[in-house]
Amino acid sequence: HRVLLHSALDAHVIRELLFFGLVGPFLAGLVLEWALEAALARHQAREELRERNRQLAGLNSISEAVNQSLDLQEVLDEALDRVMDLLQVDVGEVRLLRGSTLRLESYRGLSPDFVGAEEVVALGECLCGLAAYHSRPFTANDLRVAPAITRRACLDDGLRSIMCVPVISKTRVVGVIHVGCRQPRIFSSQEEAFLAAIGRQIGMAIENASLYARVKALNQELEARVRERTVELDRARQEIAQKAQQLQKLLAETVQIQERERARIAHDMHNGVIQLIAGALYEVQAAKDAATANPDRMHACLEAALELIQQIEAETRRTIYDLRPPILDARGLIPALRQYASRYQDLTGIPCSLHVSGTPRRLTSDAEVAIYRVVQEALHNVQCHARATAAEVLVRFGPRGLWLMIRDDGQGFDPQAVTRNTDRHLGLIGMRERIQSIGGQFDIEAEPGQGTSIVIRVPARAFTQEEVR
């Protein structure tokens, strides 16, 4: 019985030993395979983590780099350099959306022929255009079999694999990033997501750069306007100072003219009217003395006194006319000019004609006096300076106002020279000031050897309701 029991135990042990001997290597292999897979998975996880950390660091460095500058070209160039370094690609480009086309703004590793031929790509054309049009990444791991390739420029430039992602600012596509390799390469989904994140970073930088460019342009425009306004104000200040100086000289000249006119009137009164009055008094006294003794002499003396009194009246009227013609107040500008032109021709020997068109109308007293005095001064200049053989005054009445021209056929002059040397031409300045004081416009048209024309324009508001008689 013991022998049998011992034999049964030995058989059981033998069976277990045989079982473990057969199954043990298989289990050991399974355990070893599982340990190997776990080690590989751990290694891959570490590599993925390391790659993600590298990409995250790269993304942070790109974000920091593009935010350091507000110059758009610097932003694009710096971002592209860092993208190519992180992704280890051979070529890279950034295109920005301009209307319905993508224009090449920054590039690395491309040939001059490619740049010249592919500077502009239409939206929706080839991978770059598709990425912008559909606002999502497009990848071609082998360009030779990629169906979306509609242009051969990338292939002809030696590229084999490319990846394009949109550059997005907020929710709007503003361009694309395009990277490629000259050897076949399979771009991973992580690389695609990484490049897409960079596209969003660049989009934000582009938005900031564009905003900065607009602000800079507005500042430059504002500075230009300030400079322009400063120049205008400085020019106006100089003109005002020059005008004040001219007016001061004109005032002094006016005072001198007034004094000369007073002296002339006093001289004319002393040598003309006073002498005539003295002669008339002498004749009246002589007539008084001869009233009883010699009636004939009395009558002769009274006749002589009467003649002297008539001369006194004529001389007084002439002086009053020189000061201000009564016809100007009584009948208006046109009759006064017609009378003055006739007297001017008689006194100077220079033919002077007056031509009137339109329906003559009365103007305000200030306007009629100003125009009359300017015509007087202009014709006086013709007599003294023009060496003219004829002069004429043209007047036109219209719905927009009065137009008047005084012109001669004399030697003319250079108006620019007169403008530069105002000290010697205060008369012209005074004429201009007179016309401007009534809201009119005063212009000079002259050339050396071609005569002179002075043009006056007075607006219709200077007209009155009174008709010309």
| Domains of the chain, CATH where assigned | 63-218 (3.30.450.40), 328-467 (3.30.565.10)
The pLDDT of residue 19: 58
Chain segment 21-47, per-residue pLDDT in tens: 666 666 666 667 777 777 777 766 676
The pLDDT of residue 16: 63
Which segments in the chain show pLDDT lower than 50? 1, 3-5
Please list the helix, strand and coil fractions of the chain in percent, rounded to the nearest 5, in that order: 65, 20, 20
395-398 CB contacts, 8 Å cutoff, 24+ apart: 395/334, 395/337, 395/354, 395/355, 395/356, 395/357, 395/360, 396/356, 396/357, 396/358, 397/356, 397/357, 397/358, 397/359, 397/360, 397/361, 398/358
The pLDDT of residue 371: 92
Chain segment 290-327, per-residue pLDDT in tens: 777 777 777 777 777 777 777 777 667 666 656 667 78
pTM (two decimals) = 0.44
The residues, ordered by sequence, that sit 6+ positions from 451 with a Cβ below 8 Å of its Cβ are 386, 388, 407, 408, 409, 410, 411, 412
The pLDDT of residue 3: 47
Measured between alpha carbons, how far apart are the two ends of the chain, in Å?
Answer: 173
The pLDDT of residue 421: 61
The pLDDT of residue 56: 59
